[in-house]
């Protein structure tokens, strides 16, 4: 995508790039929030578990879910250029010497 000029980016890709940046910032916020909550709220309990444990129970899967959404969106909305498709090596080592 770096090779393409900005004029070649479709509206769909531009919208996805905006959504991806929001998801990336959200993913970082979730990670930092999980760490901060797990450090500062060890003495409070909800349903016989500390808030620190709940932040890990909620935060880690949420981080992975956002990461998967970013990867899925990149694959769905940003097409691979023909140059990338041609230069991809499927079997780099055919025989050892």
Q: What is the pLDDT of residues 40-54, one digit of tens each?
A: 988 888 898 999 999
- Give the residue from 83, 84, 87, 75 showing the smallest Cα distance to 13: 75
Beta carbons of 50 and 43 less than 8 angstroms apart: yes
**Strands, DSSP E only, in 6-48?**
45-46
Helix (H) or strand (E) holding 49: strand 49-50
Beta carbons of 52 and 39 less than 8 angstroms apart: yes
Whether pTM exceeds 0.75: no
pLDDT of the residue at 95? 62
């Amino acid at each position: 995508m770096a090779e393409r000029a900005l004029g070649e980016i479709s509206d769909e890709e531009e919208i996805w790039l905006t959504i991806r940046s929001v998801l990336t910032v959200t993913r970082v916020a979730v990670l930092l929030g999980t760490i901060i909550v797990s450090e500062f709220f060890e003495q409070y309990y909800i349903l016989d578990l500390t808030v620190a444990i709940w932040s890990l129970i909620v935060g880690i899967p949420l981080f992975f879910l956002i990461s998967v959404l970013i990867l899925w969106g990149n694959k769905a909305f940003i097409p691979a250029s023909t140059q990338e498709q041609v230069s991809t090596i499927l079997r780099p080592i055919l025989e050892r010497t």
